Amino acid sequence: MKLWLDDERPAPPGWVHVTTVADAQRLLASGKVTEASLDHDLGPQPVCFECERDGETKSSPCQHCSCHHRDLDGYDLVKWMVGSGTWSVTKPQVHSANPTGAANMEAAIERYFPASSQTPTTNASAPPQAAGLPQNSEGNGGGDPVPTTVVPPRS
């Protein structure tokens, strides 16, 4: 399946159109995404895939990600892909009009996408929490990854 993440632009014919990070995470986690094209700026977002699965809402406290404190964007999805090792078969493309956000996304994809990937894979070389990725273009905590599992608070 071809994944198109964008809250404004329509998907090209033959692509599955999603508008939220949670929906993109769900499709990527299925292991059926062959291609992905991602936007950065996505507008208001619900909570992430893990919080949604656990029945959490924007008003409930969250210990494992930043989705309760701000809206998620395409860079948050890429950080989740890096941290979880969950990728499309081919290297994801970025189609954002936000040059800084697009550059951050492209840099992370270029650095962590498994070069020999022919099938969805777990990238063993990716750091468990995508440490070292730059902050997002908004400077609002984008340096904090969206982990795939509950992570205890740092001491």
Between 29 and 64, residue with greater pLDDT: 29
Q: How far apart are CA 32 and CA 82, in angstroms?
A: 17
Tell me: pLDDT of 18 over 80: yes
Query: In this predicted model, what pLDDT tens digit does every residue of 70-126 receive, in sequence order?
Result: 678 999 999 999 999 999 999 999 999 999 999 999 999 999 999 765 444 444 444
Taking residues 126-137, report their average pLDDT. 44
Between 18 and 152, residue with greater pLDDT: 18
CATH code of 2-112, in short, is 3.40.50
Between 51 and 102, residue with greater pLDDT: 102
Strand, coil or helix: 43? coil
Cα dist from 144 to 23, 48, 66, 114, whole Å = 20, 14, 7, 22
* pTM for the structure as a whole: 0.68
Q: How does the average pLDDT of the chain come out, rounded?
A: 76
Q: How far apart are CA 89 and CA 51, in angstroms?
A: 26
Between 8 and 146, residue with greater pLDDT: 8
Tell me: pLDDT of 127 over 60: no
Q: Of all residues in the chain, what percent carry a pLDDT higher than 90?
A: 52
pLDDT for residue 73: 92
CA dihedral 152, 137, 89, 112 (to 10 degrees): -60
Cα dist from 83 to 17, 59, 149, whole Å = 23, 25, 10
pLDDT for residue 60: 62
